[in-house]
Amino acid sequence: MHSVSSPDSRSPETLCIGPLGIAKPWVQAALSGYSDLAMRRVARAHGAAYALNEVVIDEKVLQRGKGRQRILFVPDDDHPVGGQLMGSTPERFAQAANDLVEAGYDVVDINFGCPVGKVLGRCRGGYLLGQPALAIDIVLRVVEAVRGRVPVTLKMRRGLSEDPQSEGAFFEILDGAFDAGISAVTVHGRTVDQKYEGLSSRGFLKRVKTHAGSRTVLGSGDLFSAEDVHSMLRDTGVDGVTIARGAIGNPFIFEQCDRIASGLRPVAPTLAMQARAISRHLEEALRIARDEASALGKTRRHAIQYARLHPEPIRCRDAWVMARSRQDFERVFGELYSDA
């Protein structure tokens, strides 16, 4: 467990996920629609030691075609990488997990946390926090399918709702999952009902870590700055954290975490740093996308989030919203990042 020293005196510690050692305890979360290979490469360039692919449905992994090929493409420079699965059927979950391992993923992560309505309506994600027997069966099947080749981890929220029965189901699934052989759990401090409203409960994360003892627990929720990361580690005792929305348009957060760990102040990214990161993202997107329009569209989604770091965030955001072509991108760089 981490000590409760001040953030400025903390040094990076290896995060252990089964036999896999991660160099730093702050990692990039799986982000639906965002954490594709381009985002992961940019995050790694800024210090992320471990990243997860965006969550994928087990059926999409098993369905033959280009979609499956994109999911199962794991290049040599994308390690260590986790593949996060979501679904509702133990058999398909297990089959898809095996395919992720065969493709080269270093970790299989099971999603029992997504709070999106259409996901819940299909009995996936956070829905399974209300179905302990089914959830534990899924974990058992996945661990059996992986057969010790890579670690299996679990992503959870702190229950469906605030009621005691929901909390009881959470701990039943947590204990059942560790007994089944998972190597780590990530816990988001909001309930499924909360979605992204209200505060993530650090008190609950502390309780989970105390309950889990020496077993690996990562915290999640409301990590929008390097200071947030270090304070969560200090206040809850979790072994690591997964940075989700706070990493979209802000890969610099990983470098900033490193600086605090080394006793230095985090440095705000200059316009030049921002421009280089967005340009790198576009280059990576062009390399892997089906076509230029797709690459530009995906990069634009990230660039809009980068605008929060710009001295004129609203003007910058609006400029990226309107950018549709390579020429538009160059115009935005020229007008708003000219100091770079």
According to the 3-state scheme, what is the secondary structure of the chain? CCCCCCHHHCCCCCEEECCEEECCCEEECCCCCCCCHHHHHHHHHCCCCCEECCCEEHHHHHCCCHHHHHHCCCCCCCCCEEEEEECCCHHHHHHHHHHHHHHCCCEEEEEECCCCHHHHHCCCHHHHHHCHHHHHHHHHHHHHHHCCCCCEEEEEECCCCCCHHHHHHHHHHHHHHHHHCCCEEEEECCCCCCCCCCCCCHHHHHHHHHHHCCCEEEEECCCCCHHHHHHHHHHHCCCEEEECHHHCCCCHHHHHHHHHHCCCCCCCCCHHHHHHHHHHHHHHHHHHCCCHHHHHHHHHHHHHHHHHHCCCHHHHHHHHHHCCCHHHHHHHHHHHCCCC
* 185 lies in some domain: yes
Owning domain of residue 112: 7-261
Query: Do 295 and 200 fall within a single domain?
Result: no
Residue 332: the pLDDT is 97
Query: Over 80: is that where the pLDDT of 11 sits?
Result: no
* 61 lies in some domain: yes
Query: Do 77 and 220 fall within a single domain?
Result: yes
CATH, residue 117:
3.20.20.70
The pLDDT tens digits for 269-318 are 999 999 999 999 999 999 998 899 999 999 999 999 999 999 999 999 99
Last residue of some domain: 242, 261, 280?
261
Residue 6: the pLDDT is 37
Query: Do 214 and 305 fall within a single domain?
Result: no
Mind telling me the catalytic residues? 114
Considering its fold, how many domains does the chain have in total?
Answer: 2
Last residue of some domain: 211, 233, 261?
261
* 85 lies in some domain: yes
Query: Do 31 and 76 fall within a single domain?
Result: yes
The pLDDT tens digits for 119-137 are 999 999 999 999 999 999 9
Query: Over 60: is that where the pLDDT of 7 sits?
Result: no
Query: Do 245 and 302 fall within a single domain?
Result: no
What is the pTM for the complete model shown?
Answer: 0.92
Query: Do 239 and 300 fall within a single domain?
Result: no
